[in-house]
Chains A and B, each alone.
Chain A
Amino acid sequence: MAQPQSQSSVSVTLAAGTHWICTCGQSQNYPHCDGGHKGTAFQPLALELTSTKTVEITP
């Protein structure tokens, strides 16, 4: 199975709402999805926040 391209872990502050988190590692705007997963087996992850949170993402 294809492995995601490695990215270093990041911590971002996200406002309430839906955020698309990159899972393929191709994003130029990591950890946000920029559509770079096209042609890979990966789909972005929808992260829904009801209030502003600090989000730590480790690939």
Chain B
Amino acid sequence: MKITIHDHPPVQTVQQPRLGKPTIDLNTAPYGILLLRLSLGILFLAHGLLKFTVFTLPGTAQFFEKLGLPGFMAYVVAPAEVVGGLMLLAGLYSRWVALVLFPVLLVATFKAHGANGWMFSNEGGGWEFPAFFAIACLVQFLLGDGAYALSSIRSHPRH
């Protein structure tokens, strides 16, 4: 009597990644995500602080009203940008922070820069930059924290 054991094919296909073969280099990808996260964090922090210090909150509210947005949004958006920027830099709930900040950039794309045309070098700045910024936020949401994130240190304590 002889028994031959083969791997069951369906089990293998279930374990395959969705795209059939690995498309991400797991050795370097976390550092790419880290770069994206730090860039977004610095941008949000800078734009948030700009609203506090240079434009001031009442000034930002006035600007928002000029765009046809409710003025009180300035008091929501500016702190959200500062706190979100810091959380991105620290790597705390990066994907959810990026998802929450995504609508801010949609508004920036369509409301604040939509009328200025596409080119970033146009007067007032065209919408290509905020649009790319918005997509980068979605990408961060899809990617997660990346390397050196505080979240990953908390959830995987070193032994």
Asked if chains A and B come from one complex, the reply is yes
Q: For residues 1 through 19 of chain B, which have their beta carbon under 8 Å from a beta carbon of chain A?
A: 1-11
Report whether A55 and B4 are in contact in the complex, using a CB–CB cutoff of 8 Å: yes
| Chain B residues, Cβ within 8 Å of A53 | 5-8
Cβ-closest chain B residue relative to A4: B1
**A51, A52, A54, A56 — which one has the most chain B CB atoms within 10 A of its CB?**
A54
Report whether B9 and A54 are in contact in the complex, using a CB–CB cutoff of 8 Å: yes
Cβ-closest chain A residue relative to B2: A58
What count of chain B residues pass the 8 Å CB interface test? 11
Distance in angstroms between the alpha carbons of A3 and B19 in the assembled complex: 52
- B7 to nearest A CB, angstroms? 7
Q: Which of B2, B3, B11 contacts A47 (CB 8 A)?
A: B3
Report whether B6 and A59 are in contact in the complex, using a CB–CB cutoff of 8 Å: no
Size bin of chain A's contact surface? 10 to 19
Interface string of B79-108 (1 = CB under 8 A from A): 000000000000000000000000000000
Report whether A52 and B5 are in contact in the complex, using a CB–CB cutoff of 8 Å: no
Report whether B9 and A56 are in contact in the complex, using a CB–CB cutoff of 8 Å: no
Q: For residues 1 through 34 of chain A, which have their beta carbon under 8 Å from a beta carbon of chain B?
A: 4, 13, 21, 23
21 A-B residue contacts at CB 8 Å?
A21-B3, A45-B1, A49-B5, A52-B8, A52-B10, A52-B11, A53-B5, A53-B6, A53-B7, A53-B8, A54-B5, A54-B8, A54-B9, A55-B3, A55-B4, A55-B5, A56-B3, A57-B4, A58-B1, A58-B4, A59-B1
Extra inter-chain contacts (13) besides given A23-B1, A57-B2, CB under 8 Å: A45-B3, A47-B3, A51-B8, A52-B8, A53-B6, A54-B6, A54-B8, A55-B5, A56-B3, A56-B6, A57-B3, A58-B1, A59-B1
Chain B residues proximal to chain A, CB less than 8 Å: 1-11
Chain A residues proximal to chain B, CB less than 8 Å: 4, 13, 21, 23, 45, 47, 49, 51-59
